[in-house]
Copies of this chain bind each other. A is one copy, B any other.
Amino acid sequence: MNNIALEGVTVVDMSRVLAGSYCTMLLADMGARVIKVENANDKDVARIYGPHVGSESGYYMTLNCNKESISLNLKTEEGKKILRTLIEHADILVENFRPGVMKKLGFDYEAVREYNPAIVYASISGFGQTGPYSQRPSYDIVAQAMGGLMAVTGDPDRGPTKVGANVGDAASGLMACIGLLAAYSGRLKTGKGQYIDVAMADTIFSILATRNHVYYLTGELPVRHGNRDELSCPYGIYECSDGHALIGCAHRRFFQSLCEIMGTPDLADDPRFCTHDLAAEHRFELDPIIEKWAKSKTVDELVALLSQAGIPTAPVYNVAQIADDPQIAGVRKMVREQDHPYVGKVKVTGNPIKMSETPTDEIRRHSPMLGEQTDMILKEFLHYDDEKIDELRKDDVIGQQDYKQCEKRE
């Protein structure tokens, strides 16, 4: 046993697209052995999402490093038998099909616990496994809408706004991962597994906890503030000559320093802006003055000037800037590179959980091609020989390994 946190933990990964795959990605990065079960007729849909490099999807590659893929046709009895054997050996199972699909396949928690009572099993869905909405489709945008996130995002003069990342999917994957690991550590003590049922709408609503409480106590609904704040000014994102930057004058002294930097020290004494609260109250008069000044600077100039004066500030980064940043990409290694045998070197986003004894940013294995580890897994878990495996391949129980004919990208 070395120091990898989850070394020796085996995960059967039935997940598709994002929420479940993000959860198992973190498990794999922390040392678990993750086996994704898919098939040419029922592959992880992420494999369809572009851009592709040859047969490989960028979307799939970014979420599935450090995992293995076994191709199993679950419409055959033999395929089901193999999956059952894998599950018998597994510690954890993750799935994010629509509620009912795993039961139809014969692998819902009630069925699986019969032969593996120690398994820790997580399902992620839009609204949970039971209740009137359980069969509704679970798009990220639905969870953002019904979980309350869109209602509080966007400019006050416009409607509710979608968040530009799939936070409903991703955060649900994180919640499932937490439930799995808590249950797994409990099971190490008791020997008993359990079932974890995470809903995307619940997850979004939980993340809003520190806005919801105002409603519970006062009946007041949260409002959209766009990029600004009703309690401080200037506070928010301002347009510069070549991009946007944050100015965060959360205290009076920051505003006074800013007025000095702007070359208009008297502005801080203007009767409309001469206290923190007055400046916030008159923000619709103050903001245009700040906006005009910000427009005269580049983002780098503005951030440098404010930083020197100790005023909270930040550039608004896009992915290209982050991939170049000395802290986030540099020190923190948040852009990593996998060396894929067919695709070559491909960048993927790193793991934010930095552990002193467990190198979560290491790519021990490239993201698998469809069914790439089928033979290896069948030999190891079912002790099949090449002859038996050829037979299964002929009978369409396992896939055809077409990727072996792929050409490497030069």
Interface residues, chain A, CB within 8 Å of chain B? 1, 3-9, 18, 22, 26-27, 30-31, 51, 53, 58-59, 61-63, 109, 127-128, 130-134, 136-137, 139, 141-142, 145-155, 158-167, 170-172, 174-179, 181-186, 188-190, 192, 194-199, 201-218, 221-222, 224-227, 236-237, 239, 244-246, 248, 312, 314-320, 322-323, 325-328, 330-332, 334-335, 346-358
Chain B residues lying within 8 Å of A334, measured Cβ to Cβ, are 202, 205-206
Chain A binding surface, main DSSP class: mixed
A155-B153 Cα distance, complex, nearest whole Å: 11
- Closest residue of chain B to A128 (Cβ to Cβ) is B332
Partner of A61, one of B150, B213, B227: B213
A148-B318 Cα distance, complex, nearest whole Å: 5
Report how many copies the assembly holds.
2
5 A-B interface contacts by CB (under 8 A): A137-B312, A142-B312, A171-B207, A197-B356, A216-B346
A225-B166 Cα distance, complex, nearest whole Å: 13
Chain B residues lying within 8 Å of A141, measured Cβ to Cβ, are 236, 246, 248, 314
A120-B127 Cα distance, complex, nearest whole Å: 33
Q: Is the CB of B355 within 8 A of A179?
A: yes
Chain B residues lying within 8 Å of A205, measured Cβ to Cβ, are 322, 328, 334, 349-350, 352
Q: Is the CB of B155 within 8 A of A161?
A: yes
A348-B172 Cα distance, complex, nearest whole Å: 20
Chain B residues lying within 8 Å of A188, measured Cβ to Cβ, are 185, 188-189
Q: A178-B174, A194-B356, A210-B63 are in contact. Are A312 and B161 (CB under 8 A)?
A: no
**A196 → chain B closest CB, angstroms:** 5
Q: Is the CB of B225 within 8 A of A164?
A: yes
**A231 → chain B closest CB, angstroms:** 11
Q: Is the CB of B222 within 8 A of A318?
A: yes
Q: Is the CB of B148 within 8 A of A210?
A: no
Q: Is the CB of B210 within 8 A of A319?
A: no
**A314 → chain B closest CB, angstroms:** 5
**A185 → chain B closest CB, angstroms:** 4
Q: A30-B182, A314-B145, A326-B131 are in contact. Are A208 and B349 (CB under 8 A)?
A: yes
- Closest residue of chain B to A30 (Cβ to Cβ) is B182
Q: Is the CB of B221 within 8 A of A318?
A: yes
Q: A159-B244, A197-B354, A205-B352 are in contact. Are A326 and B3 (CB under 8 A)?
A: no
Q: A206-B334, A213-B62, A327-B132 are in contact. Are A178 and B26 (CB under 8 A)?
A: yes
Q: Which of A161, A166, A184, A188 has the most CB of B within 10 A?
A: A161
Chain B residues lying within 8 Å of A159, measured Cβ to Cβ, are 227, 237, 239, 244
**A332 → chain B closest CB, angstroms:** 5
Q: Is the CB of A315 within 8 A of B145?
A: yes
Q: Is the CB of A179 within 8 A of B353?
A: yes
**A168 → chain B closest CB, angstroms:** 11
A248-B204 Cα distance, complex, nearest whole Å: 19
Q: Is the CB of A5 within 8 A of B186?
A: yes
Q: Is the CB of B181 within 8 A of A356?
A: no
A141-B323 Cα distance, complex, nearest whole Å: 20
Q: A170-B207, A196-B355 are in contact. Are A132 and B331 (CB under 8 A)?
A: yes
Q: Is the CB of B6 within 8 A of A160?
A: no
Q: Is the CB of B62 within 8 A of A328?
A: no
Given A62-B212, A148-B317, A205-B350, output 8 extra A-B contacts at Cβ < 8 Å.
A51-B213, A131-B326, A136-B314, A153-B164, A164-B224, A175-B353, A182-B358, A201-B327
Chain A to chain B: the 4 pairs with minimum beta-carbon distance, closest first: A152-B164, A131-B331, A181-B181, A202-B352
